[in-house]
Amino acid sequence: MAQQTKRKVLITGGTGFIGSNLAMRLLETDTEVEVVLFDRNPDLSRLTGFKSSVPGVKDRYTPVKDRITFVQGDLTILPHVLALFDNHEPDSVFHLGALLSAGAESNPTMGFKVDTVGSWHVFEAARIYCQHAGRPPIRLLFPSTIASFGQFIAAGALVPNEAVQMPTTMYGVAKVSVERLGEYYTRKGWIDFRAVRYPSVIGASRGPGGTTVYSTLMVQEPARDPPRPYFAYVGADTRLDIIYISEALDAIVGLHDAPAAALVKSNRRVYNIAGFRNAGQAPTAAEIKAAVLAQIPAARIEFSTTPIEATVKSFGVLDDSAAMADWAWKKQGRLDLNKAVEAFIDEVRAYPDRIKSLELFGA
């Protein structure tokens, strides 16, 4: 193995919404980290956009750019993934690459290839890499989803960590498959798999392809320059479990850093992560709108009922008590909805070059 002076972190889906934010988090908090971003999409603007075009705003990109390596490739092509491990010898892996929910439903064949087969390629490459290098199982983090639970969870119900998973979408089916496959590879001693189940993650520069993207666009579009109206495809009373990107990163990085003994003791590898709560309930679309209006009084946000609303309303809300018990996931100090919306708006205005024009369905 080549001599390395810095810790290398591989992020699949590295040019995407969570991947780019994760890369910046790791680079800014540890000067000994290098990140390798693997993605089919070569557009690095979600990272380069941290070099703001707004006068007086801090340039976050330039100080870290020399520790970023981008590799273009396809998760569905095993030689691409094998070469990635051989050439870059990562110390940790965050496997974020996926076709999101609406995209996977509109093209289920591609959804299966990317989300299920692509994940198996990453696991196999990690296994072979560790065995050939004579190194311990590599730590591999994965973002699962509330959509993995499916039809046997009552709408709005609190979902325990070990609730029955019966997904009804290709995206959800793939997430459950990868959860179980990761646990299997860990029992075999091939990788050190860990996963968080997210609610809908909101934040600047989220990409297309998700049925819950309205929760991001309600905040993002009115905050742009010039402000844009937004017409949500759900009713004002629609509740949705949501989390802001900064806390989503806290969760996946926190689980990565958790002592292995804590997970072995509990015999868990996959953890629910809860979003914002108001009297124990997830926020409604109207409550998100109110948080936006508190910051942008002239914002224009309207609601309408569409067939997609039924899918959104079918989700439960995640109980993350297992994460709090096993690896000290935060019990206190979480953002509330109003503070998260304020931070979200500030980021849109500070780094506008990161923002994508989004549609509900995307490849």
Q: What CATH number is attached to the domain comprising 152?
A: 3.40.50.720
- Residue 238 in domain: no
Please tell me which residue, 360 or 235, carries the higher pLDDT value: 235
Taking CA atoms, 348 is separated from 109, 218, 356, in Å, by 34, 12, 11
Q: Is residue 308 part of a domain?
A: no
**Is 143 inside a domain boundary?**
yes
Does residue 112 lie within any of the structural domains?
yes
Q: How confident is the model at residue 265 (pLDDT cuts 50, 70, 90)?
A: confident
Query: For residue 193, how far is the Cα from the chain centroid?
Result: 16
Q: Which of 181, 178, 153 is nearest to 165 (CA)?
A: 153
Label residue 310 by pLDDT band (50, 70, 90): confident
pLDDT value of residue 350: 97
How high is the pLDDT of residue 362? 36
**Any domain includes 343:** no
Q: How far is Cα 128 from Cα 106, in angstroms, rounded to an integer?
A: 34
Name the token pair of 282. 């997830």
Angstrom CA distances, 156 to 50, 261, 267, stand at 37, 34, 28
Q: Is the pLDDT of residue 363 over 50?
A: no
Question: DSSP per residue over 44-79, as a string?
Answer: -HHHHTTS-SSTT----STTTGGGEEEEE--TT-HH
Does the residue 256 lie in any domain? yes
Residue 282 inside a domain? The answer is: no
**Banded model confidence at residue 5, pLDDT cuts 50, 70, 90:** low
**pLDDT tens-digit map of 178-224:** 999 999 999 999 999 999 999 999 999 986 667 899 999 999 999 99
In a domain, 161, yes or no: yes
pTM above 0.85, yes or no: yes
How many domains does one find in the chain?
Answer: 1
pLDDT, tens only, 11-69: 999 999 999 999 999 999 999 999 999 999 999 999 999 999 999 999 999 999 999 99
**Model confidence pLDDT, tens digit, residues 86-124:** 999 999 999 999 998 888 988 999 999 999 999 999 999
Structural domain containing residue 323: 7-202+244-275+317-333
